[in-house]
Amino acid sequence: MPSHKNNEIRPVTLRILVVDDNRDVVDSLVMLLEAFSYDVLTANDGLQAIEVATHFRPDVVLLDIGMPKLDGYEVCSHIREQSWGMDIKILAMSGMGQNDDLGKSIGSDFTEHLIKPVRPELLLQLLANYGSRP
C-alpha cells in the first residue's frame, strides 16, 4: 500500500532486524538493505535481538545461529511464542550448510536457511517475494 507525502507515491518498506555477533556481517547487510530503502535495526546477541524485536516488530529477521547469550534457535523460538511473532519471516544465517543444519533450522520454525556469506541477490529476491508491509 503506498504512502502519500508531498504528492509522491512511495511503497512502504519491510522492517528488517539484522542479528549477528560479527560486526562486519551486520555492517555489510545494513549497507545493502538501506541501499534498497529497507527500514533496518540491528542486534549483536540473542538477548538484544529479543529486546529489539519486541519493540521494533520486524517483518523479517536475519538471524545468526551461533551467538552469545542465546543462540539463534532460542531467539527464533522465543519470537514464535509471541502473538506478534507468528507471521514474521525469520531467516537463519549460518556458515553451516550441511543437510542436517538446513533441516534443523527449518524444523525450528525458521522460514529460510541462508549460508554465510549471504548472497546479496538471493537475499534481495527473498525480500522482494515477501512484499511490502500493508
Domain assignment present for residue 109? The answer is: yes
Domain assignment present for residue 94? The answer is: yes
Domain assignment present for residue 93? The answer is: yes
Q: Are 91 and 73 in contact (CB under 8 A)?
A: no
Each residue's pLDDT tens digit, 61-112: 999 998 988 999 999 999 999 999 999 999 999 886 544 544 555 556 899 9
Domain assignment present for residue 73? The answer is: yes
Each residue's pLDDT tens digit, 51-70: 999 999 999 999 999 898 89
Domain count, the chain: 1
pLDDT band at 15 (very low <50, low <70, confident <90, very high): very high
| Mean pLDDT estimate for the chain | 85
Please state the three-class secondary structure of the chain as a single string.
CEEEECCEEEECCCEEEEECCCHHHHHHHHHHHHHCCCEEEEECCHHHHHHHHHHHCCCEEEEECCCCCCCHHHHHHHHHHCHHHCCCEEEEEECCCCHHHHHHHHHCCCCEEEECCCCHHHHHHHHHHHCCCC
Output the nine-digit C-alpha cell for 84.
506478534
| Domain with 51 in it | 10-130
Q: Identify the pLDDT of residue 131.
A: 81
The number of beta carbons lying within 10 Å of the beta carbon of residue 110 is 24
We report the CATH number of the domain holding residue 101 as: 3.40.50.2300
Q: State pTM to two decimals.
A: 0.85
